[in-house]
Amino acid sequence: MQAVYDPSLKPLIISYESCTSLEISNNGHSVMVDFEDADDKTVINGGPLEGPYRLKQFHFHWGMKHSQGSEHTVDSKSFPSELHLVHWNARKYATFGEAAAAPDGLAVVGIFLETGEEHANMNRLTDALYMVKFKGTKAQFRTFNPKCLLPSSLNYWTYPGSLTTPPLYESVTWIVLKEPVRISEKQLEKFRTLLFTSEGDERIQMVNNFRPPQPLKGRIIRASFKA
Let me know: does 205 contact 196? Beta carbons within 8 Å.
yes
pLDDT, averaged per 10 consecutive residues of the chain (227 residues), comes to: 90 94 97 96 96 98 95 94 97 95 95 98 98 98 97 97 74 96 98 98 98 85 94
User: For residues 198 and 184, what is the distance between their CA atoms, to the nearest angstrom?
Assistant: 28
Largest CA distance in the chain: 54
In which region does residue 186 sit, left (phi positive, over 0), alpha (psi from -120 to 50) or beta (all else)? alpha
Q: Is position 29 annotated as part of the catalytic site?
A: yes
Strand pairing partners for 44?
14, 53
- Report the pLDDT value the prediction gives residue 163, as an integer from 0 to 100: 76
| Domain ranges across the chain | 3-223
- Report the pLDDT value the prediction gives residue 1, as an integer from 0 to 100: 58
pTM: 0.96
C-alpha closest to that of 30 among 54, 63, 55: 63
User: For residues 152 and 95, what is the distance between their CA atoms, to the nearest angstrom?
Assistant: 32
DSSP assignment of 55-123: EEEEEEEE-SSTT---SS-BTTB--SEEEEEEEE-TTT-SSHHHHHTSTTSEEEEEEEEEESS--GGGH
Q: How many CB atoms lie within 10 A of CB 179?
A: 13
- Report the pLDDT value the prediction gives residue 166, as an integer from 0 to 100: 67
User: Exposed (0-12), middle (13-18) or buried (19+): which is 153, by Cβ within 10 Å?
Assistant: exposed
- Selecting among 29, 61, 66, 84, the annotated active-site residue is 29
- Report the pLDDT value the prediction gives residue 164, as an integer from 0 to 100: 72
Class of domain 3-223: alpha beta
